[in-house]
Chain A
Amino acid sequence: MKKILSKPKSLKSVVFSYCPGCGHGIIHRIIAECIDELDVREKTIAVSPVGCAVFAYNYFNFDVTEAPHGRAPAVATGIKRTQPNKLVFTYQGDGDVAAIGMAETIHATNRSENITILFVNNANYGMTGGQMAPTTLIGQVTATTPFGRNLKREGYPIKLCELLSTLEGAIYLERVALYSPQSIIVAKKAIKKAFQCQLDEKGFSLVELVSSCPVDWSMSPLDSIKWVKEVFIKSFPLRVIKDKT
């Protein structure tokens, strides 16, 4: 009998510790599938972020290092420069990549560092209890915007892909989501394309994954999916922002 579906080799046989309805589990799974399909598990080096997904090394069955908050693109630069034939990716949240680590993100992009950033946008700081993130929507209530994000006080949500697209070094930038089986298939294709861009030595790639955080959003998993579909992606439209591959 032919086996048509199994757990990817790039995932360890452990149970995820993520909350019900959280996007990290899906994202881990499709990353692992891409790495298996590209047959690069033994040459992959990942940089896990500060935040819920710091535990990525408990789940991924390939080499992973930690990095200080926001510095993953710099750490990945050091890894890639010394191991140019490896697949190097960072896994970062919105606060990590677009607040504290914005300088590292912009400069890694501008150097067209041949790495991939997988940017999980869930519009809040998940692990610390749902505070405002750089991507929090106008009016969105968080632990630190109890009256809703006010553009006069907190400014506008940052659209990182659009910002990076102005840099010559950005080769492939796409925003995807995870609210339906179809959107997950698109997300997986984007990740695979980004990895391929790196393996082909074309330069910097980033995939933004619009995800959900039901616990910190105070929503059920199903309501979270609905909110992503009906509200979140209206501010963060799903599209290929740049493709110079």
Chain B
Amino acid sequence: MKKLIKGNIALCEGAITAGLESYFGYPITPQNEILSYLSKKMVEIGKIFLQAESEIAAINMVLGAAVTGARSMTSSSSPGISLKQETISYMAGMEIPALIINIQRGGPGLGNISGAQSDYFQAVKGGGHGDYKVIVLAPNSVQEMYEMAYDAFDLAEKYRTPIMLLSDGIIGQMMEPAELNSRVKKKKNIEKDWIIDGCKGREARSIKSLLMENGALEKHNINLQKKYRVISKNEIKYELYMVEDSEIIIVSYGISSRIAKSVTKFARKNGVKVGLLRPKTLWPFPSKIINSLAKSNVKFLAIELNHGQMIEDLKLAVNGKSSVSFLGKAGGGIITELEIFKKIQELNL
């Protein structure tokens, strides 16, 4: 049975169903429902909830909990995610799996509290210092907030990597009917042979990102890159909608893709051959499928709530085979269907 629920709450339910054992967070709008909900729910189910003294402390508590093998999560919104980046880099280097939620708001700086998609670069290019990537999931519905938060833990543990759910204030705050029984409740975590939980019956272990021995860091980086190539090969997810005979293909993710989809339907009714490609993973990015759809008689249109970030990855994927246009805005406004349709008409001339 479907339940009318907020995106921020649905993701909590997804994480709990996946066996979330500890949550550490700090208040910031528009993700406060997550803290409030988990402060009650986690205690009721005998799991760990702690409001940290800062976003920095929260992500470091996640690091600590996750080195013991516990499924752990933190959440924040854009400025708070910036604060967490140092430790996300450590976790990538130390190969520690955990879930980081970004319910994006407008930036730069303190910005505002409206939904935005302006943290794309930060999320998909690494975010902190050093040569690393985190898997980035981009839900576009309350249902996907639940499902992706659930799936994130298996993915993170499979590859021993931090993973980010990159959502926005609109999906976080909006209510939609969602099926909350679409995933199986996880009872026990898989055995992990790398965790730090006291060396009873085994050799002592250490987890580190400082590698000072000659050649050690170079080797570690090569191994990380190998892992990222495997992720890029196996974990790309996207949705195709009416792209087969399209002359214009919109590429859009998250909340923007919802608007883009209704415009696609509307344009088709009006005889314009428009399709939609929606990346569900932003890193790894669906470059291969985009490249296979790129032809001289196809035009691409990137739509995002920023001033042009994903479009760079789109252009790399298209590799000059098609023209690539952009429509976006940042700072709290949302793109309307009319604005998108006008842009399509321009491209269709």
Q: Which residues of A contact B (CB under 8 A)?
A: 12, 41-45, 47-48, 54, 57, 60-68, 71, 74-83, 86, 103-104, 106-107
Contacts and interface: CB of A to CB of B under 8 A. Distances in A.
B65 A78 contact: yes
Contacts of A81: 22, 48, 50, 61, 64-65
Interface in B134-190: none
Interface stretch (B52-60, B264-272, B334-342): B52-60
Interface of B: 21-22, 24, 48, 50, 52-54, 56-58, 60-68, 70, 72, 86-87, 90, 94, 196-201, 204-210
A78 B204 contact: no
B50 A77 contact: yes
A107 B67 CA distance: 21
Given A83-B197, A86-B198, A65 B57 contact: no
B197 A66 contact: no
B206 A78 contact: no
Q: Is the interface of B mostly helix, strand, loop or mixed?
A: mixed
Given A42-B198, A43-B198, A71-B56, A78 B66 contact: yes
Given A75-B61, A75-B64, A64 B206 contact: yes
Contacts of B48: 81-82
A65 B207 contact: yes
Contact of B196 (A54, A61, A79, A103): A79
B90 A68 contact: yes
A213 to B, nearest CB: 20
Contact of A67 (B60, B201, B204): B60
A103 B57 contact: yes
Most chain-A CB neighbours within 10 Å: which of B21, B66, B68, B90?
A: B68
Contact of A78 (B61, B199, B200, B207): B61
Contacts of A76: 64
A63 B199 contact: yes
B26 to A, nearest CB: 11
6 contacts: A60-B204, A65-B196, A74-B56, A74-B57, A79-B64, A106-B53
Nearest to B195: A63
A107 B60 CA distance: 13
Contacts of B67: 65, 75, 78-79
A121 to B, nearest CB: 23
Contact of A71 (B50, B60, B198, B204): B60
A60 B90 CA distance: 22
Given A79-B196, A81-B22, A86-B198, A63 B204 contact: yes
Contact of B68 (A71, A74, A82): A82
A103 B65 CA distance: 19
